[in-house]
Structure 1
Amino acid sequence: MSKVKKNLVHYQDLIIKIREFFYSRKVTEVKTPSLLLSPSTDVYIDSIEVKVNRNISRPIDLYLHTSPELEMKRLLSKGSGDIFQICQVYRDNEYGSNNSNEFTMLEFYRIDFDMHSLVDEIIDLLKMLGKTDAAIKISYAQAFFEYGNIDILNTDLEDLKKIANSLGLNSDYDWIEDLQTLLFVHLIEPKISQIPICFIYDYPKEQSALAKIDGPIAHRFELYINGVEIANGYEEIQSADEYRDRFNNELYKRKMIEKKKLLVDEEFLRDIKVGLPHCSGVAIGIERLFSSISL
């Protein structure tokens, strides 16, 4: 068997095993649209715009989804129950050895799961895929205490700038979350690269994305395998009003850094006006997962 054939077969086996894992747990596979009317509002994720129907005089601007997140949440709000999806996603302005403009994503949502229950299920999935190393769970704050001697939840923007300067890093940032991330990359990621499976959880509230906030923390986690980020998940916010607030905050930040002006996706907010059930969800990069499983 050629190397190419062997690689294709291994990738196929991975996808089959993932599907079997969720089927065995009665999680329903779904397929949602890839072409959307509204782009992502995420500050640091850019949608790819496409114009369709030009030759039939009905031109319209659409956007390739950067993840199936919002479309799956529409289903959750309508009573879909536990769901998963494996699909291609598309992002503009991506570059690097671990980044691509197109990649495959596994995204799933579990009803009545808190963040830690979802982490435990991901560990079960990894074991089923043959990744049996012990999983280490460490909070964001604990990681900074242990590896950087920094009380990250109680250190303000100006003090973080001083720390960055002392490390020879650029400190010209307006938002504390950017400096937190910069220091995480330089101080924490090199340490956790020695850990086969590491979950970092309870991020600062400034990095909440669409996760529930509890005091100074957001119920969000990321999975690293040998230092490479594989997954990003959280316990989901539920009300349409809170989604509106988060979207508006993202749009404000995009405006401040002179990114393309966007609008809140009003159709999405109307579709989830009844709210989401209590649930947690996660997005996993399949190519990164495949590389880590294949090592």
Structure 2
Amino acid sequence: MSEALWQPSASVELLKQRSEIISKIRHFFYQRQVMEVDTPALSQACVSDIHLHSFCTTLSGPAAPKTMPLYLQTSPEFHMKRLLAAGSGCIYQIAKAFRNEEAGRYHNPEFTMLEWYRVGYNHFALMDEMEQLLELVLGCGSCERLSYRQAFERHLGFNPLEAEHVQFMVAAKELGVADLVAKEPERDTILQLLFSLGVEPHIAQQRPCFVYHFPASQAALAKISSTDPQVAERFELYYKGIELANGFHELTDAQEQAERFANDQAYRKVNGLAEAELDQRFLAGLAAGLPACAGVALGIDRLLMLAFGQTHIQQVQSFSIERA
């Protein structure tokens, strides 16, 4: 083992600056009377999202004589929504999250997430508050806002909500991925590929950009718009090539959420992915009554990369996975 591997990934001076920014974030929510909460990192269930992969471990011994599978949480979302359903009011959390994916420039399997929920807000009101937080941390001024449709039309020249496959192929050829798109049966996978290659590099270079109203098929845990059923009331935040946050005007209908989970499971089965252990306690919380709210998850490490002008996530973490 290299002797240098005992040392932290980030400098001690930068870790001091990290601590100062996190203190500012806590004060930001304290001023707004948003309560800080602490929820479990381990759960008996995991997410069904086909793009997320959970770490699994096993509890054994007297507490679980037949052994109990447990999952490290990809985000504190489900537990936090159960608190909201129990009457917590507006809440936030700075938590460790875990995703079983490749480590890289913007990814570490263990990372720090800021997640918060505002009762009575829709996604636009939450974007307003996010803009205030970004100004506090980054001093970046106002944010641009583009609908998903506007972003595609501006940079790829077509409406992604109604486009035919031939339009996808024209864009894919220009981007050098025609072979991939020709073989891909899933419309959303094609849209995500074209967005990442043809839209993301051209937005949010000078100031942050909210992209909102993603296709309804990409709603995740967001409401479908009551005025336009083609889109979901979901947004993502980008800045200087980094995806910073994912937010929703939250779905509160337990039956609709259960149907979305079932669709995820069906996709997993067809595509040879392991079935997810669904969170029935979360669904019970929704059924009991999740208040109308908006919520967002923001990657603290990525935010700090921008704040400190760093190019790799390990430069803002005390110990990356290589040094853990």
- Relative CO higher for 1 or 2, CA cutoff 8 Å, sep ≥ 6? 2
- TM tier, shorter chain? over 0.9
Partner of 1:273, secondary structure, is helix
Are 1:226 and 2:258 an aligned pair?
A: no
Q: 2:38 is matched with which residue: 27, 31, 39?
A: 31
Aligned to 1:49: 56
Aligned to 1:154: 162
Deviation at 1:37, TM superposition (A): 0.3
Aligned to 2:205: 194
Which stretch shows the higher mean deviation, 48-57 or 86-95?
A: 48-57
Which stretch shows the higher mean deviation, 131-140 or 166-175?
A: 166-175
Deviation at 1:263, TM superposition (A): 4.0
Deviation at 1:166, TM superposition (A): 5.2
Structure 1: 5+ residue stretches without partners: none
Aligned to 1:248: 262
Aligned partners of 1:193 and 1:22: how far apart in 2?
26
CA contact (8 A) 1:239 1:274 kept: no
CA contact (8 A) 2:158 2:167 kept: no
Q: 1:86 is matched with which residue: 91, 94, 112?
A: 94
Which stretch shows the higher mean deviation, 47-56 or 246-255?
A: 47-56
Query: Which amino acid is the alignment partner of residue 99 of structure 2?
Result: R
Are 1:113 and 2:121 an aligned pair?
A: yes
Aligned partners of 2:112 and 2:159: how far apart in 1?
36
Structure 2: 5+ residue stretches without partners: 1-9, 310-324
Q: 1:212 is matched with which residue: 198, 202, 223?
A: 223
Do the aligned partners of residues 164 and 120 (structure 1) sit closer, same or farther apart at CA in structure 2, a change above 3 Å counting?
same
Aligned partners of 2:24 and 2:262: how far apart in 1?
39
Do the aligned partners of residues 273 and 107 (structure 1) sit closer, same or farther apart at CA in structure 2, a change above 3 Å counting?
same
CA contact (8 A) 1:173 1:179 kept: yes
CA contact (8 A) 2:40 2:79 kept: yes
| Identical residues among aligned pairs (%) | 38
Deviation at 1:259, TM superposition (A): 0.8
Do the aligned partners of residues 251 and 161 (structure 1) sit closer, same or farther apart at CA in structure 2, a change above 3 Å counting?
farther
Aligned to 1:267: 281
Deviation at 1:146, TM superposition (A): 0.7
Deviation at 1:250, TM superposition (A): 1.4
CA contact (8 A) 1:251 1:263 kept: no
Partner of 2:288, secondary structure, is coil
Query: Which amino acid is the alignment partner of residue 89 of structure 1?
Result: A
The TM-score with structure 1 as length reference comes to 0.94
Query: Which amino acid is the alignment partner of residue 49 of structure 1?
Result: C
Aligned to 1:19: 26
Aligned partners of 1:92 and 1:157: how far apart in 2?
32
Give aligned pairs, total. 293
Deviation at 1:129, TM superposition (A): 1.8
Which stretch shows the higher mean deviation, 81-90 or 50-59?
A: 50-59
Aligned to 1:10: 17
Partner of 1:51, secondary structure, is strand
Partner of 2:273, secondary structure, is coil
Query: Which amino acid is the alignment partner of residue 220 of structure 1?
Result: R
Partner of 2:58, secondary structure, is strand
Do the aligned partners of residues 165 and 81 (structure 1) sit closer, same or farther apart at CA in structure 2, a change above 3 Å counting?
same
